């Protein structure tokens, strides 16, 4: 939906592909044409690169936008697209290849002055030697799959006693999940922030960054709330990290949109983590603060055009936050809670953007990432963007399945989020399912208030109502406008 919208604005016709599970999906109806690529499992549909290319040839398609997920970071697919005489809206296959392997990425940037997390720079082959290195780095350490992604393929090792067992598990998991058993070691940064930079380059060697995003609110090493700009960075640090991000992109002759991810420790020292060679889920917050349509730029770059702006043309305007609306139960370990969207009403009004792919009555398929939507707010400053997000969450009506929305509301109102000092351990250290119970929805409060009036009868109706809706007390008198 995100890509088709921009294509329409540019006067470009679109062909959507879909699996049998997505027959009624919005993108199928919204595109000019739609073709079924196979049964629900992605290995039999969305991952069939050869079949997708054949469809493109049959329909005289000019270019393929790979979105995110699926084949978007598959160098082999990108190469086949080129070989078929089609345009791949993304970077070169060489850049995808280098950055798709965390080890190859580290090797590529090692010639530049980019700080990296202490660790091994080659795949572990000798477990005893790796154990010695871990002692030098200092526990806890993290074992990572070189081909990993989406927060998968990581194991924390707290002490040398666990080392061998965890290493064996990590290798076999990497083999079964990514078809590549290469793992390496990194120092585990205990209280890190995840800060990343949006970069974009054209095929003429111009590369700029579009500032930072902070994505430290994560569960299972995967982001749930993202914002731009990061509340942590000073102007000086922003410039320094921005330059480093552009350098990482230059290290692989990058063109297209990409993201350079860093991890930052308590001393605000930052280290290169990895580069994602595609449009990222959280790209809307960058679009909101810079005014740039990233998909439009991607398409222009793929056509061979030069970037339509220089670094000095770009500036940060206001603040933007994104909450990922996952069909997951935050009270049950964020496990997927698949089902039907019995009621689905989007929030509206100034500064609100909902990027979604579902409508009321639709089922969330079990086959793919259970993301229903991305709820994005934009305002003049961070607190206003937070207030707007809380309002939008209250207005968002999703009935039929559990979502990450009550969790997001809890986080947005937490003092550590408000003052910006949170790190990636927020969920582990500050969230339990009980937090959701003590933060009931407005409807529940209203029902409770009505019941209180009924039960207490004519005795003290007015007081019961105010007591029941404490968290909704008007701030009219207390705030300064
Ligand atoms: P980010 O863009 O921040 O790295 P994620 O890693 O959370 O975000 O999301 C992208 C990942 O989501 C992909 O690498 C892919 O594994 C997964 N994914 C699975 N199914 C889908 C889907 N239907 N739509 C988008 N992404 C999907
Ligand atoms: P993926 O490809 O799965 O996105 P990343 O290397 O980007 O893998 O890491 C994902 C997340 O895992 C980071 O945002 C961070 O929360 C955590 N993480 C990664 N490396 C480290 C590390 N060395 N120390 C602590 N946390 C880390
Ligand atoms: Mg990452």
pLDDT digits (tens, 9 = 90+) for 243-264: 999 999 999 999 999 999 999 9
Q: Which of 130-134, 350-354, 435-439, 460-464 has the highest mean pLDDT?
A: 350-354
Judge whether 320 lies within some domain.
Answer: yes
**Ligand 1 atom nearest 368 alpha carbon:** 20
CATH number of the structural domain spanning residue 37: 3.40.50.20
Q: What average pLDDT does range 213-222 have in this prediction? A: 96
Count of structural domains, the chain: 4
CATH number of the structural domain spanning residue 141: 3.30.1490.20
- The residue among 187, 212, 235 that closes a domain is 187
194 lines ligand 2 (CB under 6 A): yes
357 lines ligand 2 (CB under 6 A): no
Judge whether 474 lies within some domain.
Answer: yes
Q: Are residues 227 and 375 located together in one domain of the fold?
A: yes
CA–centroid distance, residue 33 to ligand 3 (Å): 33
CA–centroid distance, residue 160 to ligand 2 (Å): 21
137 lines ligand 2 (CB under 6 A): no
Q: Are residues 87 and 146 located together in one domain of the fold?
A: no
Find where tokens 């290195």 sit.
133
| pLDDT per residue as tens digits for the range 350-408 | 999 999 999 999 999 999 999 999 999 999 999 999 999 999 999 999 999 999 999 99
Domain that residue 16 falls in: 2-98
Q: Are residues 76 and 146 located together in one domain of the fold?
A: no
DSSP for residue 119 = B
Can you give 18-72 as a three-state secondary structure string? EEHHHCCCHHHHHCCEEEEEECCCHHHCCCCHHHHHHHHHHCCCCEECCCCCHHH
- Asked whether 16 and 28 are in contact (CB, 8 A), the reply is yes
Judge whether 449 lies within some domain.
Answer: yes
Angle at 423 between CA 259 and CA 152, to 5 degrees: 55
Active-site positions read 278
Q: Are residues 8 and 76 located together in one domain of the fold?
A: yes
Q: Are residues 246 and 356 located together in one domain of the fold?
A: yes
Find where tokens 């208030």 sit.
449
Angle at 169 between CA 164 and CA 175, to 5 degrees: 130
Q: Are residues 333 and 421 located together in one domain of the fold?
A: yes
Q: Are residues 234 and 312 located together in one domain of the fold?
A: yes
Q: Are residues 307 and 379 located together in one domain of the fold?
A: yes
Judge whether 110 lies within some domain.
Answer: no
- The residue among 187, 205, 232 that closes a domain is 187
Residue 55, pLDDT above cutoff 50: yes
**Atom 15, ligand 2: residue with shortest CA distance:** 221
Judge whether 108 lies within some domain.
Answer: no
CATH number of the structural domain spanning residue 294: 3.30.470.20
Distance in angstroms (rounded) separating the CA atoms of residues 286 and 293: 9
Residue 224, pLDDT above cutoff 70: yes
Q: Are residues 236 and 182 located together in one domain of the fold?
A: no
Distance in angstroms (rounded) separating the CA atoms of residues 305 and 284: 23
CA–centroid distance, residue 149 to ligand 3 (Å): 6
Judge whether 370 lies within some domain.
Answer: yes
Q: What average pLDDT does range 301-317 have in this prediction? A: 97
Q: Are residues 122 and 271 located together in one domain of the fold?
A: no
Sequence-ordered list of residues with C-beta below 8 angstroms from that of 24, at least 6 positions apart, any chain: 362
Q: Are residues 227 and 348 located together in one domain of the fold?
A: yes
Tell me what the pLDDT averaged over the chain comes to.
93
Judge whether 420 lies within some domain.
Answer: yes
- The residue among 98, 131, 157 that closes a domain is 98
Is pTM, for the whole model, over 0.85?
yes
Q: Are residues 414 and 267 located together in one domain of the fold?
A: yes
């Amino acid at each position: 939906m995100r890509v088709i919208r921009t294509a329409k604005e540019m006067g470009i016709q679109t062909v959507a592909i879909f699996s049998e599970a997505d027959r009624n999906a919005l993108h199928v109806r919204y595109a000019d044409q739609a073709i079924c690529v196979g049964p629900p499992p992605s290995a039999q549909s969305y991952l069939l690169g050869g079949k997708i290319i054949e469809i493109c040839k049959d329909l005289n398609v000019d270019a393929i936008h790979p979105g995110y997920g699926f084949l978007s970071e598959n160098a082999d697919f990108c190469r086949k697209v080129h070989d078929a005489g089609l345009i791949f809206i993304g970077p070169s296959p060489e850049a995808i290849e280098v950055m798709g392997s965390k080890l190859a990425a580290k090797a590529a940037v090692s010639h530049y002055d980019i700080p990296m997390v202490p660790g091994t720079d080659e795949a572990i082959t000798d477990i005893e030697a790796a154990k010695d290195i871990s002692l030098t780095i200092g526990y806890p350490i993290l074992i990572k799959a070189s081909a990993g992604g989406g927060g998968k393929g990581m194991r924390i090792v707290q002490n040398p006693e666990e080392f061998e067992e965890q290493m064996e598990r990590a290798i076999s998991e990497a083999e079964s999940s990514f078809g590549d058993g290469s793992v390496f070691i990194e120092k585990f940064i205990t209280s890190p922030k995840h800060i990343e930079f949006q970069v974009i380059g054209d095929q003429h060697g111009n590369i700029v960054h579009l500032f930072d995003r902070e994505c430290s609110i994560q569960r299972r090493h995967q982001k749930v709330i993202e914002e731009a700009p990061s509340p942590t960075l000073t102007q000086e640090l922003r410039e320094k990290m921005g330059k480093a991000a552009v350098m990482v992109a230059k290290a692989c002759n990058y063109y297209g949109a990409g993201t350079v991810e860093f991890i930052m420790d308590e001393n605000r020292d930052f280290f290169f983590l990895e580069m994602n060679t595609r449009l990222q889920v959280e790209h809307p917050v960058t679009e909101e603060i810079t005014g740039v349509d990233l998909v439009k730029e991607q398409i222009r770059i793929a056509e061979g055009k030069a970037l339509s702006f220089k670094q000095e043309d770009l500036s940060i305007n206001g603040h933007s936050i994104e909450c990922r609306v996952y069909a997951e139960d935050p009270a049950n370990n964020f496990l997927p809670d698949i089902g039907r969207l019995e009621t689905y009403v989007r929030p509206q009004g100034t500064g609100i953007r909902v990027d979604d792919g579902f409508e009321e009555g639709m089922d969330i398929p079990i086959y793919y990432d259970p993301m229903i939507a991305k709820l994005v707010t934009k305002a003049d400053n961070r607190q206003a963007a937070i207030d707007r997000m809380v309002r939008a969450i209250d207005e968002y009506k999703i009935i039929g399945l559990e979502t990450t929305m009550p969790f997001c509301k809890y986080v947005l109102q937490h003092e550590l989020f408000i003052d910006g000092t949170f790190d990636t351990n927020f969920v582990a250290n500050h969230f339990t399912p009980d937090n959701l119970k003590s933060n009931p929805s407005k409807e529940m409060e209203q029902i409770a208030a009505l019941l209180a009036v009924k039960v207490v009868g004519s005795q003290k109706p007015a007081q019961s109502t105010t007591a029941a809706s404490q968290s909704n007390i008007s701030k009219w008198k207390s705030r300064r406008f």
